[in-house]
């Protein structure tokens, strides 16, 4: 569900709650139950928008560096933390000797080696610098 759809749904729910309040000449103001219902609806709407913003803006981890080939397959020495990650996943376009930026998940395999499950090649910067 997109942020726009969630806002639309929350607006409809709040309008339905407001319009469902009975109007009479002897009752002035909403009852305690109606006030509680509106407060609960507002809290749910704010939490829903917060969750959508969080999931919409969070970024998957990325690494970048020079791709090398060894006995374990392809690996990358990450430029930011200087750790070596064995690559797995979608390796289309990832070739040894190339400088790349990748998006995906940092993991450890059963032997404790750092692995990076590639989801997307974001940038191929050309040949590695020596």
pLDDT digits (tens, 9 = 90+) for 85-110: 888 888 888 888 888 888 888 888 88
Last residue of a domain, one of 42, 57, 72: 57
Last residue of a domain, one of 57, 76, 94: 57
C-alpha to C-alpha distance for 93 and 85, rounded to whole angstroms = 17
Count: domains in the chain: 2
Kindly compute the dihedral angle of the four CA atoms of residues 28, 33, 34, 35, in this order, to the nearest 10 degrees.
90
> Among 18, 13, 19, 8, which residue's Cα sits nearest to residue 44?
13
Q: Is residue 23 over pLDDT 80?
A: no
CA 10, distance to chain mean position in Å, is 22
**Listed range (23-32, 42-51, 88-97, 117-126) with the worst mean pLDDT:** 23-32
Q: Residue 81's domain is classified under what CATH number?
A: 2.40.50
- Give the pLDDT confidence of 44-64 residue by residue, as tens digits: 999 988 888 888 777 767 888
What is the domain extent for residue 22?
3-57
Whole-angstrom CA distances from 65 to 22, 62, 75, 76, 126 are: 65, 10, 9, 6, 11
pTM, two decimal places: 0.54
Instruction: Note the pLDDT of residue 108.
Output: 87
């Amino acid at each position: 569900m997109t942020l726009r759809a969630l806002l639309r749904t929350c607006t409809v729910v709040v309008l339905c709650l407001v319009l469902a309040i009975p109007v009479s000449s002897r009752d002035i103001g909403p009852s305690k139950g109606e006030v509680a219902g509106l407060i609960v609806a507002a809290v749910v709407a704010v939490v829903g928008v917060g969750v959508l913003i969080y999931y919409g803006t969070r970024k998957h981890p990325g690494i970048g560096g020079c791709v090398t080939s060894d006995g374990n397959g392809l690996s990358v020495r990450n430029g930011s933390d200087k750790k070596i990650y064995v690559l797995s996943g979608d390796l289309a376009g990832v070739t040894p000797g190339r400088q790349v930026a990748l998006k995906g998940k940092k993991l450890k395999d059963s032997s404790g080696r750092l692995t990076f499950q590639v989801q997307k090649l974001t940038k191929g910067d050309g040949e590695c610098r020596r």
